[in-house]
C-alpha cells in the first residue's frame, strides 16, 4: 500500500510517500523558520499562506522522486490536529480534494500520534508495548503505548512544554528562533555547576512536570548578568539544559519503573537534543532498558511520520480509519491524544 502523508499543522510543510510493502519512504520538507524568524515565533496567517504555496509543488516533487504517478497513491494521510486551524485546513483541503479526485481514502492523523510512531521507522525499532516521552514545542507527555491507538497518559507538564521552555530561554538569552538547537549549542560551552537552577516537581509522587518556574529562574539569572558577558550566558544555558534533562530523565525512569516496561521511545522536536539523549541513554541503559529515537531527520515535524501513522491506522481499522464523508474538512486545533476515538 502506498500512503501519501501531508503535514501542515504549524510551520513546516511536509509531504511523504510511504510504501508499506517495500518500506520505501520518500519525503520532502519546507521549513518556514526564515519566514517567522523576524517575529520571534510563528505567525499563523503567514504560516497558512505559505502552506498554500508549498504543498502542491512538494507533492509533485515526492511523486517524481519516488517514480510514482498520482494514480499509484492508495490512500492519503493528513494531519487533522492539533495545531493552527488555518494551517491544518490547508493540508486537509488538499488531502480532501486529492482524495475526491483520485477516489482514494483520506485518513485524518493526530500529529502527536505521528511523532509517537515515528521511532518505528528507525532500525532497530521498538516493539509494543513501550513508554513514550513526547517532547515537542506544544506538548510534554509520558505515555504508556500498548498498541497503535491505545495510549494511557502517565504524566504531562502542568504548564509550559519543554520545547516552549527552550524557545523562551533562547529569547531571554538573545538567541534566535527556534530556540532549542541554539540553547543546546550554547550550553555546550557553558561550565557545569557554575549556576544551579531549580528542577521543578522532580521529587513529586506523580509523573507530572512543570517548566514555568524554571523559566522564571532563567529570567532572574539573566537579569543578574552583563548581557555582553558571553561566558555567563553560556553558563545559564548550561544550567537550564542540565535542569530540563534531569527532570525529563527522572520522570522517564520513573515511568519505566511504574509500568514495568524496559523500552523508552523519545519523540518530538526536543528529542533531537543531544544532552537529553545522552542523559536518557545513560540512565535507562544503567537500569537494563533501552531508548529508541526516530531517524534524526524525522524528529521535528515531517510528512513521513504522518504517512506512516496513516498506514498503521488503515492496517488496523481499514475503512473505519477514513474520514467520514459528512465532514471532509474537519480539523481539530485542540485534540487529546488519549481521546482519538472522538476524532
Ligand atoms: O515537534 P516539533 O518540531 O514541533 C511541534 O510539534 O511542536 O518541536 C519543535 C520544538 C521547538 O520548541 C524547538 O525549539 C524544539 O522542538 N527543538 C529542540 C531541538 N530541536 C528542536 N529543543 C532542544 N534541542 C534541540 N536540538
Ligand atoms: Zn510536532
CA of 137 to the centre of ligand 1 (A): 5
Quick one: pLDDT at residue 342?
41
- Which residue out of 163, 164, 334 has the highest number of ligand 1 atoms within 8 Å of its CB and is therefore the one to mutate? 163
Length of the chain: 343
Q: Are 55 and 90 in contact (CB under 8 A)?
A: yes
Answer yes or no: is the C-beta of 300 below 6 A from any ligand 1 atom: yes
Ligand 1 mean position, distance from CA 309 (Å): 20
Protein residue with its CA nearest to atom 8 in ligand 1:
269
**Of 269, 273, 277, 304, best ligand 1 pocket probe by most atoms within 8 Å of the beta carbon:** 269
Distance CA 42, CA 37 (A): 8
- Which atom of ligand 1 is least distant from the CA of 170? 14
Question: Is residue 138 lining ligand 1, measured as CB closer than 6 Å?
Answer: yes
pLDDT of residue 326: 47
Dihedral sign for Cα 323, 103, 148, 87, please: negative
The pLDDT tens digits of the residues spanning 133-158 come to: 999 999 999 999 999 989 999 999 99
Mutation choice for ligand 1 from 133, 167, 180, 276, CB with most ligand atoms inside 8 A? 180
pTM score: 0.93
Nearest-Å Rg of the Cα atoms of the chain is 20
Indicate if 128-293 has the same CATH topology as 2-116+299-342.
yes
Determine the pLDDT at residue 72.
Answer: 97
Domain residues of the chain, as ranges? 2-116+299-342, 128-293
| Among the bound ligands, the one closest to the CA of 175 | 1
pLDDT at 167: 94
Q: Ligand 1: distance of its center to the CA of 98 in Å? A: 30
Per-residue 3-state assignment (H helix, E strand, C coil) for 289-300: CEEECCCHHHCC
What residues form DSSP beta bridges with 141? 134, 156
Query: Which ligand is the nearest neighbour of the Cα of 161?
Result: 1
Residue with cell 507530572: 208
Ligand 1 in reach of 81 Cβ (< 6 A): no
Please identify every residue whose CB atom is under 5 Å from ligand 2, which is an ion. Answer: 136, 301
Mean pLDDT of the chain: 94
The pick from 276, 300, 302, 304 for probing ligand 1's pocket by mutation, whose C-beta has the most ligand atoms within 8 angstroms, reads 300
Residue with the smallest CA separation from ligand 1 atom 2 is: 269
**Residue ranges of the chain whose pLDDT lies below 50:** 326, 342-343
- Is residue 306 within 8 A of residue 16, CB to CB? The reply is yes
**Domain spanning 2-116+299-342: which CATH class is it, in words?**
alpha beta
Query: Which atom number of ligand 1 is nearest to the Cα of residue 300?
Result: 3
| Architecture field, domain 128-293 | 2-Layer Sandwich (3.30)
Within 127-178, residue ranges assigned H as helices are 162-172
What was the pLDDT predicted at 325? 52
> In this structure, what C-alpha cell is assigned to residue 340?
482519538
How far lies 72's CA from each of 2, 63, 81, 96, 295, in Å? 7, 9, 26, 17, 26
Amino acid at each position: 500500500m502506498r500512503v501519501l502523508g501531508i503535514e501542515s499543522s504549524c510551520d513546516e510543510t511536509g509531504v511523504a510517500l510511504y510504501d508499506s510493502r517495500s518500506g520505501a519512504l520518500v519525503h520532502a520538507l519546507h521549513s518556514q523558520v526564515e519566514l517567522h524568524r523576524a517575529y520571534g515565533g510563528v505567525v499563523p496567517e503567514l504560516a497558512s499562506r505559505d502552506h498554500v504555496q508549498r504543498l502542491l509543488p512538494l507533492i509533485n516533487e515526492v511523486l517524481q522522486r519516488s517514480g510514482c504517478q498520482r494514480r499509484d497513491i492508495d490512500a492519503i494521510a493528513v494531519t487533522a490536529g492539533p495545531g493552527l486551524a488555518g494551517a491544518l485546513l490547508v493540508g486537509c483541503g488538499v488531502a480532501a480534494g486529492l482524495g475526491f479526485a483520485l477516489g482514494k481514502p483520506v485518513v485524518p492523523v493526530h500529529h502527536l500520534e505521528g511523532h509517537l510512531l515515528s521511532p518505528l521507522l528507525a532500525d532497530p525499532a521498538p516493539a509494543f508495548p513501550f513508554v513514550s516521552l513526547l517532547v515537542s514545542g506544544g506538548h510534554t507527555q509520558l505515555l504508556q503505548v500498548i498498541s497503535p491507538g491505545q495510549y494511557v497518559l502517565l504524566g504531562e507538564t502542568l504548564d509550559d512544554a519543554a520545547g516552549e521552555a527552550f524557545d523562551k530561554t533562547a529569547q531571554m538569552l538573545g538567541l534566535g528562533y527556534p530556540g532549542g538547537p541554539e540553547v543546546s549549542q550554547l550550553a555546550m560551552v557553558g561550565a557545569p555547576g557554575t549556576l544551579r537552577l531549580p528542577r521543578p516537581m522532580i521529587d513529586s509522587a506523580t509523573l507530572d512536570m512543570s517548566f514555568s518556574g524554571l523559566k522564571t529562574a532563567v529570567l532572574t539569572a539573566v537579569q543578574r548578568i552583563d548581557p555582553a558577558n558571553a561566558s555567563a550566558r553560556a553558563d545559564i544555558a548550561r544550567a537550564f539544559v542540565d535542569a530540563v534533562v534531569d527532570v525529563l530523565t527522572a520522570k522517564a525512569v520513573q515511568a519505566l519503573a511504574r509500568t514495568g516496561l524496559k523500552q523508552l521511545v523519545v519523540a518530538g522536536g526536543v528529542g533531537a537534543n543531544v544532552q537529553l539523549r545522552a542523559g536518557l541513554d545513560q540512565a535507562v541503559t544503567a537500569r537494563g532498558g533501552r531508548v529508541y529515537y526516530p531517524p534524526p531527520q524525522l524528529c521535528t515535524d515531517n510528512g513521513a511520520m504522518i504517512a506512516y501513522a496513516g498506514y498503521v491506522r488503515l492496517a488496523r481499522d481499514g475503512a473505519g480509519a477514513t474520514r467520514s464523508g459528512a465532514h471532509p474538512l474537519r480539523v481539530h486545533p485542540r485534540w487529546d491524544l488519549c481521546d482519538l476515538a472522538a476524532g
